[in-house]
A and B are shown apart, each in its own frame.
Chain A
Amino acid sequence: MGCFHSTASRQYPGHEDPVFLASQTAFSVSEVEALFELFKSISSSVIDDGLISKEEFQLALFKNKKKENLFANRIFDLFDVKRKGVVDFGDFVRVLNVFHPNASQEDKIDFTFKLYDLDGTGYIERHEVRQMLIAILCESELKLSDEMIEGILDKTFKEADVDQDGKICRSEWHQFVSKNPQLLKIMTLQYLRDITTTFPSFVFHSEVDEIAT
């Protein structure tokens, strides 16, 4: 395993030992190595520097179509834990871990709260939700009048904003998502269960002494 670390860390800044990453997450060592295959492919798509830039992330999400997307930007910002404008392998694995089918519901709810708290104020505010609704209309072919948007906002805040102070706090969000569990569907990626079969080439690149399953 020391071998893996020393070789990969030369080419991949911030690279962490797969055994260590496996110990911190729901992934096995083999699954971390399979994720490394995915990481290598994304991080070399524009500049082969061993880090994922926002442009590379969007290219991977939208399959080579250049798209500016509020939500993809938000997700990238949450992957960019060190706030350096790029994502290293350790952060890539730790954030994907929240999307694992075995990750806790609490972690998934917390992640969505941060995702939708666009301004990072600790509250999901009405103007932020309006901004996201307008973004979704721009992205899709859906057409909703301003009155309909305000109606959706009224209905949503009536249900979610329990103390009716015009913003959704973390505990209100927990209650709201518990009543609307479909909102967490985006937070579970079944792909993560099959990652070693999706990227079997990890076996040829493994530098871990023994592949744990």
Chain B
Amino acid sequence: QSPAAMNAFELISTSQGLNLGSLFEK
């Protein structure tokens, strides 16, 4: 999906800073 076609929050939620899963990866 082209970024321009996404809503703002879909784009924002791709941030690495919001991916708490990485806390659990050793």
Q: Which residues of A contact B (CB under 8 A)?
A: 38, 42, 60-63, 67, 69-75, 96, 99, 115-116, 129, 132-133, 135-136, 139-140, 142, 144, 148, 151-153, 155-156, 159-160, 180, 182-183, 185-186, 189-191, 195, 198
Interface of A is mostly: helix
The residue from A61, A142, A151 contacting B23, defined by CB atoms under 8 A apart: A61
List of B residues within 8 angstroms of A152 by Cβ: 3-4, 6-8, 11
Q: How far is the CA of A189 from the CA of B20 in the complex (A)?
A: 8
Residues of B within 8 A of A (CB-CB), count: 23
Known: A60-B23, A61-B22, A139-B17. A132 touches B10 (CB 8 A): no
Q: Which residues of B contact A (CB under 8 A)?
A: 3-4, 6-26
The residue from A63, A142, A148, A182 contacting B22, defined by CB atoms under 8 A apart: A63
The residue from B6, B13, B14 contacting A140, defined by CB atoms under 8 A apart: B14
Decide if A71 touches B17 in the complex (CB within 8 Å): yes
Decide if A133 touches B8 in the complex (CB within 8 Å): yes
Q: How far is the CA of A63 from the CA of B8 in the complex (A)?
A: 27
